[in-house]
Every structure is written in C-alpha cells, then in structure tokens.
Amino acid sequence: MSFIEEIKERARKNKKTIVLPESEDRRIYEAAAKVLDQGIANVIIIGKDQVIRKKSTGFDISGATLIDPEKFDRLAEYIGKLVEIRKNKGMTAEMAQEILLTDYTTFGVMMVKMGDADGMVSGACHSSANTLRPCLQILKTAPGTKLVSAFFLMIVPNSSFGAKGTFVFGDCGLNQSPSSEELAAIAESSARSFELLTGKEAKIAMLSHSTKGSARHEDIDKVTRAVQIAHEQYPDLKIDGELQLDAAIVPEVAAFKASGSPVAGKANVLIFPDLDAGNIGYKLVERLGGAEAYGPLTQGIAAPVNDLSRGCNADDIVGVVAITAVQAAAQDWGE
C-alpha cells in the first residue's frame, strides 16, 4: 500500500467533514466524487445551485452536502460571530454579510470555526494569501504555537532517501524570509507534522549552501543559529545543520562532509532557509523527480485548513483532503 493510500485508510477509519469552497472549479467536483466514492471524508461544497449543477456535470457528487450561503439557515449566526471576531478591525454586520455571501473561502473558514466542518481545503483557483488570510483572522493560531507555517508532503518514487522516499519540506508556502527563531519554530512544527502523518521519527536537516562551515556568509549564520535555538528549545528533536542537500540525504556524502552527525545522510524533514529556496526545491523534486507533492499544508492554525497549488489535479486534491481529515482526527485526540 502506498503512503497516500495509508493516509486515506486512516481517514476512512475516523471520517471527518471537509469543506471545499471553490465551486467554480471543475477539478473540485472530480475530486469530491473520488473522495465520496472512496469513503475518505464527508464533503461540503459551497456555491450557488445553478453553478454547482453546471460545473459538476459528469461527476457523481450526490453524497455531498451543497450549501448556498444566501439560503443557509445559520447565516445570521455566522454574521454575528464574524462581527464578534473582527469588531476591533471595524467589522459591521453589513460588511460581514457581504463577505460571507461573496467570499466562499471565508464562509468555509467560518464553517470550521462554527463546528459545521472539521477542516477546509482551498487554493485550486485562489492564491495562498486569499486562502490563508481568513484562516489567520478567524481561526487564529493553535495554543502554544509560535508561528504558522506551511509544508509540503513529498513522496518520491523508487527512492531510498528519507523515509523510503517520503519527506516533509518546510517552509515552502508562507514565510518569505524567516529569522533564526522562526526557522527553529518551522523545524519543530514540521517535525511534528512528519511524525503525525508517517508515524516515524523525524530527522531534521537545516539546509544551506554550506555544510559545517564549508563556506562563510550571514545567510549561513542564520541557519546555524536556528540549529542552536532548536537544540535549546526542543531538545527532544533530532536536528542538525547547516547541511547541504546531498549531505542531508545521501549517506556516502554525509560520511565525508558531516561525519558523526545524527541526521546527515538520514534526513526526512528538510527545512529551507527561505521561501524562494523552498518553493523552487519542491517544484524541482515534483517536476523533474516525478514526486507527488501535497500542499502547501498548514501547521500552527487552530483547525486544519490546507492550501492547494493552483497547478494541482483532482488526485492531488483528494490526497490533501485525506491529509486534512487525518489532521482533524488527530486534534480530537490532542495529538
């Protein structure tokens, strides 16, 4: 059984309700039909009846719950709650109603906030900013979280590296130029995400263009300081750096460049020094290495809401829905 099939099986055993707000995109209906057919999750699709009928032609979504915000019987409650949450930012009932009736992503986030859904998946046809902004405004950060960040779950075919080809890459979707303190927080969150989804111990490499002082630059200093902070704040984590990518994942290179490292040559969680490197890195592995890339998946938000790459296909969406359901189930148990 492939890794993503294992995730789907875990989702089936504790079925959650996931809201999909992008009713204008046909990929959503193809994905929803597969999610329902495979029994991965309950599905809510937000949109106007006529749009859903037109766009869903050819896909069996009869098991989905379809919600038109204008006809929703709890709309007044949602408006009141949104005003309460955003009143310090000048939100009025009129403004809240306008947002909820026109911005389906915000409506989906409110469904999660109000307990009518366990998680949300969006981003197929919206930017990451448009997907994540209402999450941060409405759901806020999880207790004890220092930083909301994003990661990709990467599954590289026929690979002996990482956890048999499975990696977490962070941050590849949210924080542009994280400080040392932020890199340490991203490493901690990414390690927990890896362990939740794989059940294996995280081995975290803080990546750089240098390995153990082979070059000198302030960008390298940022990474080495992040490692020091992580060791101080998260002593249970197996983390090392700065490491070049080959030293991080290839045992033969690690033996030469970083002998004695507890992580080098065995890393399965790769932390990139900035968003440029992370975004380029995951797309190289996906497009040239043929990897499955699921994300950007968020970590640190009070409820599971995950972004999609706008280049995703229906199977990518199905995978992210399954991951979101597993994250939601883990929250039930306080994992």
Extract the tokens encoding 210: 């240098």
- In sequence order, the β-bridge partners of residue 335 are none
- Strand-pair category, 269-271 with 305-307: unpaired
Buried b (16+ CB within 10 A) or exposed e, 288-319: eeebbbbbbbbbbbbbbbbbbbeebebebbbb
pLDDT tens, residue by residue, 240-291: 988 999 999 999 999 999 888 999 999 999 999 999 999 999 999 999 999 9
Q: What are phi and psi of 282, to 5 degrees?
A: -70, -35
Question: For residues 7 and 225, what is the distance between their CA atoms, to the nearest angstrom?
Answer: 35
Q: Are 206 and 267 within 8 A, CB to CB?
A: no
pLDDT > 80? residue 325: yes
Confidence of residue 332 (pLDDT cuts 50, 70, 90): low
Interval 65-105: pLDDT, tens: 999 999 999 999 999 999 999 888 888 999 999 999 999 99
Confidence of residue 308 (pLDDT cuts 50, 70, 90): confident
Mean pLDDT confidence for 141-170: 90
Q: Is residue 39 within 8 Å of residue 318, measured between CB atoms?
A: no
Rounded to the nearest integer, the mean pLDDT of the chain is: 90
219-241 pLDDT per residue, tens: 889 999 999 999 999 999 999 98
Cβ neighbors of 72 (< 8 A, separation 6 or more) are 78
Instruction: Write down the residue that tokens 């909301």 correspond to.
Output: 148
Q: Is the pLDDT of residue 126 over 80?
A: no
Residue 334 has pLDDT above 70, yes or no: no
Rounded Cα distance, 196 and 333, in Å: 12
| Phi and psi, residue 280, nearest 5° | -65, -40
Distances (CA, A) of 177 to 63, 69, 172, 186, 291: 43, 38, 11, 12, 25
Closest CA to 81 of 68, 99, 66: 99
Which of the residue ranges 143-157, 194-208, 219-233, 246-260 would you say has the lowest mean pLDDT? 143-157
Q: What are phi and psi of 330, to 5 degrees?
A: -65, -35
